[in-house]
Amino acid sequence: MSLKQRLSRKPIVLAPGVYDPLSAKIAAQVGFEALYVSGAGIAYTRLGRPDIGLVTASEVIETIALIRDVVDLPLIVDGDTGFGNALNMQRTVRDYERAGASAIQIEDQTFPKRCGHLADKTLVSAAEMVGKIKAALDARRSEEMLIVARTDAIAVEGFEKALDRARLYAEAGADVLFVEAPRDMDQMAAIGAGAGTGRPMLANMVEGGKTPLLSTSELDRLGFGLVIFPAGVVRMIAKAARDFYAILKQDGSSAALADRMFDFDGLNGVIGTAGILEAGKKYQG
């Protein structure tokens, strides 16, 4: 079933954030239906930098291709602002689709953009964003490649203007709408109702962010069709890594952490080492 088909049905689709093939493979093994390739996750892990527009299109495209090599699940991929104007947007859509993306999320911030839960964001005009959405739609090879249109207008222009932008983006043809960083349950409910667009609405759950952290069942009741937890896994791994290094430095050994990690065989089991080596035997002379 394609992501487009799945989003037309209940219940809500939960797409955890991933940032490399290992995180994607583990998420797939747990049983998720779709994955969200997080630009923030790539910035944090590949660059060791904040999500402020430093990741390049080529870095994301390479990540998509590497993930697609190990998982078959639909991939919803952060496309930032399309990395430029409408023509840049078209190239980004073509490259993402060719690399294996099932959907691209694009937003109406200026470039370089910021994480949606940081302050001092700025926006392009609604008309410019509409043009970029239309350019993205013209560039895709298949209608199964979804265009997710995000607005960051709540923080800049206010909630009602954000809903107005969402309606314009729906009229332009966006497949899924994403109103970023609602502040309370009333705003969440209004967004979940779809703002009269009839489009699936995406909810973004950021631990410690500006939006109430809700469960998938709560979001489903509010009417959302898709929810992402984009970088929670990175926050979890970063804390675990800091604990590992601190104890290793203190003890001079990792023995105290043995019950909190995969051992050598355990990790090889996750990544399928035995199967890969066995498959290689048929090519031996």
Q: Where are the beta strands (DSSP E) in the chain?
A: 13-18, 35-37, 75-78, 103-107, 146-151, 176-179, 201-204, 226-229
As given in the structure block, the two tokens for residue 213 are 């952290």
**Averaged pLDDT, groups of 10, the chain, 285 residues long:** 95 98 98 97 97 96 98 98 97 98 97 80 96 98 98 96 97 98 96 91 95 96 97 97 98 97 97 95 89
Instruction: Domain ranges for the chain, please list them.
Output: 3-231, 238-283
User: CA-CA distance, 219 to 215, in Å (whole number)?
Assistant: 6
> By C-alpha distance, which of 181, 104, 190 is closest to 139?
104
**Count of CB atoms within 10 A of residue 252's CB?**
8
As given in the structure block, the two tokens for residue 263 are 């051992």
CATH 3.40.190.10 holds for 3-231:
no
* Residue 242, C-beta contacts closer than 8 angstroms, at least 6 positions apart: none
User: CA-CA distance, 234 to 19, in Å (whole number)?
Assistant: 8
Note the pLDDT of residue 130.
Answer: 98
Query: Please, which contacts does 25-28 make with residues 24 or more away whose CB atoms are closer than 8 Å?
Result: 25/70, 25/71, 25/270, 25/271, 26/270, 27/233, 28/71, 28/72, 28/73
Note the pLDDT of residue 136.
Answer: 98
Largest CA distance in the chain: 68
CA distances from 18 to 23, 81, 194, 272 (A): 5, 20, 27, 19
| pTM value surpassing 0.85 | yes
CA distances from 272 to 35, 45, 283 (A): 20, 23, 18
The secondary structure element, H or E, covering residue 140 is: none
> How, if at all, do strands 35-37 and 146-151 pair?
unpaired
| 165 within 8 A of 125, measured Cβ to Cβ | no
Note the pLDDT of residue 194.
Answer: 86
| 60 within 8 A of 108, measured Cβ to Cβ | no
